[in-house]
């Protein structure tokens, strides 16, 4: 009886071990299946994103063709030469979140020493990389650098430029306090002016260098480019060159104060890159990154003093010019009941096509 009891106990332990083994093997099998299915789903999403712009070509009898397919193909390159403190981090994070799903690459251009201009040799290298780096096409490049004219280097493929601007004084005040208190993006990073408690108003009252209006001279040179005069504060030529480039070289120049509308226009014009961007931005926790930790609004007397400067007046002229052009683009779209900007859809067709 005793031996029979031992045998029964061993059999019970063996069956328990077999049951556990079968259960673990089954769970592992299904986990691997789920992982593989998830990978297949992601690959299918990328494939669908690439094919979507070529579908629904419309009524070919009337000569309609899906023009969005022309706005997205394997050679497309976007350059976002982002101006500091204009919500650029929030916008770029949308691209990083969408790039895998929509099937494009995102690359950060990091310039040594945080300079905003490149040597002529580095410009040539950058142009060469952007136009010939096939493995990273389609791609969106972003970095704090002035506009680069690709035509000067004899290349036929021109990138699509986009940018965001901000009210000049707001940008200067934000940057002033950012250097002292940092932001919510990297809250533990000690900034260059950490520990300096002087307010922007006090700085202006004492005419100190950190709040010099010449520091607002940034959005004009970013759109102007790499010419010497672009970076000379108060240059009338630079202002006109920046306006000219805004109209002829940039697909869209939005303003930070209308960031959601900027994203909506890009989604309509470049769906291959920005499909789903507005909805993602509205619900993403990354939508409003890099908010300065502590910032005091300047007094009226400070504002009046800054507004007397030539640089403020010229930077504001560019900003208002950008707002005017941006609002012109918005008028060609519709607004839904939730206030979201939407594409009207194709508003043209071809007719009287000959020969038949």
> Is residue 341 reached through a cis peptide bond, with omega within 30 degrees of 0 on the bond before it?
no
Q: What residues are labeled active site?
A: 142, 144
Helix 259-269 to helix 88-102 angle (10° resolution) is 30
CA-CA distances (angstroms) from residue 103 to 39, 54, 70, 134? 14, 14, 16, 14
SS3 167: coil
DSSP per-residue string spanning 170-181:
HHHHHHHHHHHH
Strand partners, 250: 161
CA-CA distances (angstroms) from residue 185 to 98, 166, 178, 189, 243? 20, 19, 11, 9, 32
Contact 298, 200 (CB under 8 A): yes
Cα–Cα distance measured from residue 266 to residue 274, given in angstroms and rounded to the nearest whole number: 6
Q: Which residues lie below 8 Å from residue 268, measured CB to CB, with a gap of 6+?
A: 333, 342, 343
Virtual torsion, Cα 263, 267, 272, 275, nearest 10 deg: 90
SS3 301: helix
Structure-block tokens of residue 323: 């707002």
CA-CA distances (angstroms) from residue 162 to 58, 154, 193, 203, 288? 29, 21, 31, 34, 19
């Amino acid at each position: 009886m005793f031996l029979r009891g031992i045998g029964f106990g061993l059999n019970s332990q063996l069956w328990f071990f077999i049951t556990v083994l079968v259960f673990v093997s089954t769970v592992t099998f299904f986990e691997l299946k789920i992982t593989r299915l998830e990978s297949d789903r992601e690959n299918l999403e990328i494939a669908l994103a690439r094919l979507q712009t070529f579908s629904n070509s419309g009524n070919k009898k009337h000569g309609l063709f899906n023009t969005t397919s022309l706005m997205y193909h394997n050679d497309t390159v976007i350059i976002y030469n982002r101006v500091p403190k204009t919500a650029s981090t929030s916008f770029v994070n949308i691209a990083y979140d969408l790039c895998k799903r929509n099937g494009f690459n995102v690359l950060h251009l990091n310039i040594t020493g945080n300079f905003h201009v490149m040597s002529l040799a580095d410009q040539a290298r950058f142009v060469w990389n952007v136009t010939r780096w096939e493995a990273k096409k389609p791609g969106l490049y972003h970095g704090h650098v002035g506009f680069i004219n690709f035509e000067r280097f004899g290349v036929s493929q021109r990138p699509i430029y986009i940018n965001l601007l901000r009210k000049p004084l707001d940008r200067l005040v934000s940057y002033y306090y950012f250097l002292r208190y940092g932001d919510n993006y990297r809250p533990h990073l000690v900034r260059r002016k950490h520990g300096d408690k002087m307010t922007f108003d006090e700085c202006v009252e004492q005419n100190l260098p950190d709040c010099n209006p010449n520091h607002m001279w940034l959005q004009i040179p970013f759109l102007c480019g790499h010419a010497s005069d672009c970076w000379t504060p108060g240059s009338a030529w630079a202002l006109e060159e920046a306006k000219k480039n805004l109209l002829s070289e940039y697909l869209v120049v939005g303003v930070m104060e209308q960031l959601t509308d900027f994203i909506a226009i890009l989604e309509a014009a470049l769906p291959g890159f920005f499909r789903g961007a507005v909805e993602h931005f509205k619900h993403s926790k990354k939508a409003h990154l890099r908010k300065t930790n502590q910032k005091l609004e300047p007094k009226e007397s400070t504002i009046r003093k800054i507004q007397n400067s030539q640089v403020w007046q010229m930077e504001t002229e560019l900003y208002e010019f950008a707002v005017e052009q941006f609002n012109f683009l918005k008028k060609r779209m519709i607004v839904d009941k939730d206030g979201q900007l939407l594409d009207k859809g194709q508003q043209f067709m071809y007719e009287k096509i000959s020969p038949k």
